[in-house]
């Protein structure tokens, strides 16, 4: 299958060539003809499958004829990072077209967004909370909307955005094309699909099958030697960009500091960062100024860095699905990548669950020359926090020294973030 077979507008085809895409991915092969035919689509696919272009290309094709400066396509996405990536895709693929696009999310100033919307844009990529602000204030006109995309719908549901989505649905024209993408299909999303899609075409790429180009390895190690082993692995492995996952944001921050101390250009991405610093970490990782990014699952959601050569699970994830999500960041779209997971004795059950999903055992490896015999310090202080002072009222039980769990920080919600500049793109 080739992109020519879709008979996309020559300006869109030029964008595909400029982006360097040669062959459509399976989700694109299925979704593009359906979207071009004007059908509603239920897309079951996760990031890394090429799903963004699967909706962006036929939307650009649809918008090519017709007027400019009215919002004709709206994409709703759960996080700011994902919104920026989707917008970047529209800009890259639509670079030969006279279309404009912008992102709308919270944590940045409202006024630049109002000004951009007033000047007129064709495509808006938005997070739900801030979009509702604009709808409420009448600063966005959606009356000419033709296509609505709900991306990572399961994620939006997990983050509590479903009521917001329903409000948004009330504010868009009833006659429109709707595309709903989700990695999984929980009951709530099935319900949402039933409410929003008319006679949809369902397109699906394997829900949990990881990219075949990824090779997996487990590195059994004791907890207190994880950092030393990670440093050893980095030293002895030929890596380009490395994404390291930790279970908690506290660990992500500490590990980032330790990697920097060891001389690596590293950054961390965790929920505690301001929007400016998150963007700087992401941009730096994308352009190669940071070689290593340490992140928690939630902070890393939807990250698309095509050059990631290695995903290293410093901590094993909590579910087999999360493992597939994590390693989906490497070996993207026909590139090869490696996924290393450091495992301790406590991780046996999770390893079994992951092997079941992968359908095969994962190779156990030992790092040559690494001293696995170094005993644990008498009190394992790695990542332990200083004991808390006893609280006067409502004392917390034993969990006081456990590292804090990462918490979901929905993007685009109101009230929550500091103000700074907005980014908007011109798909020209
Ligand atoms: P996505 O699943 O939309 O996050 O896309 C994953 C990655 O695949 C992105 O870096 C895209 O630029 C890239 N990509 C999408 N479609 C293609 C294609 N047909 N050929 C090569 N790379 C692609």
Does 50 contact ligand 1 (Cβ within 6 A)? yes
Instruction: Tell how far CA 248 is from the center of its chain.
Output: 17
Q: Which fold has domain 3-204?
A: Rossmann fold (3.40.50)
Query: What's the gap in Å between 257 CA and the centre of ligand 1?
Result: 32
Does 24 contact ligand 1 (Cβ within 6 A)? yes
Name residue 192's beta-bridge partners: none
Contact (CB, 8 A) for 128 and 56: no
Does 333 contact ligand 1 (Cβ within 6 A)? yes
Does 46 contact ligand 1 (Cβ within 6 A)? no
Atom number in ligand 1 closest to CA 23:
19
Query: What's the gap in Å between 53 CA and the centre of ligand 1?
Result: 7
Distance CA 214, CA 2 (A): 24
For 210, counting Cβ atoms within 10 Å of its Cβ (0-12 exposed, 13-18 middle, 19+ buried), the class is: buried
Does 49 contact ligand 1 (Cβ within 6 A)? yes
Does 325 contact ligand 1 (Cβ within 6 A)? no
Stretches where the chain sits below pLDDT 70 are 206-213, 299-307, 329-336, 378-428
Contact (CB, 8 A) for 93 and 15: yes
What confidence score (pLDDT) does residue 343 get?
97
Nearest CA residue ID for atom 21, ligand 1: 21
Which residue ranges make up each domain of the chain?
A: 3-204, 214-364
What confidence score (pLDDT) does residue 302 get?
56
For 171, counting Cβ atoms within 10 Å of its Cβ (0-12 exposed, 13-18 middle, 19+ buried), the class is: middle
Does 53 contact ligand 1 (Cβ within 6 A)? yes
Q: Which of 78, 152, 333 to mutate to test the pocket of ligand 1 (most atoms within 8 A of CB)?
A: 333
What confidence score (pLDDT) does residue 13 get?
96
Query: What's the gap in Å between 19 CA and the centre of ligand 1?
Result: 9
Q: Give tens-digit pLDDT for 173-214.
A: 999 999 999 988 888 999 999 999 999 999 988 644 444 567
What confidence score (pLDDT) does residue 410 get?
38
214-364, superfamily in CATH? Answer: P-loop containing nucleotide triphosphate hydrolases (3.40.50.300)
SS3 per residue for the chain: CCHHHHCCCHHHHHHHHHHCCCCCCHHHHHHHHHHHCCCCEEEECCCCCCHHHHHHHHHHHHHCCCCCCCCCEEEECCCHHHHHHHHHHHHHHCCCCCCCEEEECCCCCHHHHHHHHHHCCCEEEECHHHHHHHHHHCCCCCCCCCEEEECCHHHHHHCCCHHHHHHHHHCCCCCCEEEEEECCCCHHHHHHHHHHCCCCEEEECCCCCCCCCEEEEEEECCHHHHHHHHHHHHHHCCCCEEEEECCCHHHHHHHHHHHHHCCCCEEEECCCCCHHHHHHHHHHHHCCCCCEEEECHHHHCCCCCCCEEEEEECCCCCCHHHHHHHHCCCCHHHCCEEEEEEECHHHHHHHHHHHHHHCCCCEECCCCCCCCCCCCCCCCCCCCCCCCCCCCCCCCCHHHHCCCCCCCCCCCCCCCCCCCCCCEECCC
What confidence score (pLDDT) does residue 417 get?
24
Does 113 contact ligand 1 (Cβ within 6 A)? no
Contacts of 181 (CB under 8 A, 6+ apart): 43, 44, 45, 51, 55, 149, 150, 151, 152, 153
Q: Give tens-digit pLDDT for 22-61.
A: 888 889 999 999 999 999 999 998 777 889 999 999 999 9
Q: Which of 27, 52, 209 to mutate to test the pocket of ligand 1 (most atoms within 8 A of CB)?
A: 52
What confidence score (pLDDT) does residue 356 get?
84
């Amino acid at each position: 299958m080739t992109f020519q077979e879709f008979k996309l507008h020559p300006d869109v085809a030029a964008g595909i060539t400029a982006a360097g895409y040669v062959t459509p991915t399976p989700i694109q092969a299925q979704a593009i003809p359906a979207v071009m035919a004007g059908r509603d689509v239920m897309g079951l696919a996760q990031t890394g499958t090429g799903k963004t272009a699967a909706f962006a290309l036929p939307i650009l094709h649809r918008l090519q004829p017709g007027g400019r400066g009215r919002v004709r396509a709206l994409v709703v996405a759960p996080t700011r990072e994902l919104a920026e990536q989707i917008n970047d895709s529209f800009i890259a693929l639509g670079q030969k077209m006279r279309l404009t696009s912008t992102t709308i999310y919270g944590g940045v100033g409202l006024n630049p967004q109002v000004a951009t919307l007033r000047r007129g844009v064709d495509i808006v990529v938005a997070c739900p909370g801030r979009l509702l602000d604009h709808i409420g204030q009448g600063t966005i006109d959606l009356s000419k909307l033709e296509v609505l995309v709900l991306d990572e719908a399961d994620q939006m549901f997990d983050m509590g955005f479903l009521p917001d989505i329903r409000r948004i649905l009330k504010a868009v024209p009833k006659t429109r094309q709707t595309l709903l993408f989700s990695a999984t299909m929980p009951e709530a999303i099935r319900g949402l699909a039933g409410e929003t899609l008319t006679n949809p075409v369902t397109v699906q790429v394997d829900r949990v099958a990881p990219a075949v180009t990824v090779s997996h390895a487990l590195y059994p190690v004791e907890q207190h030697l994880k950092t030393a082993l990670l440093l050893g692995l980095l030293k002895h492995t030929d890596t380009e960009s490395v994404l390291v996952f930790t279970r908690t944001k506290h660990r992500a921050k500490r590990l980032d500091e330790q990697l920097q101390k060891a001389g690596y250009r590293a950054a961390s991405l965790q929920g505690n960062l301001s929007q400016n610093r998150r963007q700087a970490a992401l941009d730096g990782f994308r352009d190669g100024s940071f070689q290593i990014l340490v992140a928690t699952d939630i902070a890393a959601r939807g990250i698309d860095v095509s050059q990631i050569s290695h995903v290293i699970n410093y901590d094993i994830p909590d579910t087999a699905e999360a493992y597939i999500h994590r390693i989906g960041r490497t070996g993207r779209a026909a590139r090869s990548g490696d996924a290393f997971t450091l495992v301790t004795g406590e991780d046996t059950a999770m390893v079994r669950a992951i092997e079941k999903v992968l359908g095969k055992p994962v190779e156990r490896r030992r790092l040559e020359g690494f001293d696995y015999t170094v005993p644990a310090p008498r009190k394992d202080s790695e990542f332990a926090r200083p004991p808390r002072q006893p609280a006067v009222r409502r004392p917390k039980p034993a969990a006081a020294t456990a590292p804090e769990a990462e918490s979901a920080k929905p993007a685009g919600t109101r009230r929550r973030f500091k103000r700074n500049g907005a980014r908007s793109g011109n798909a020209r």
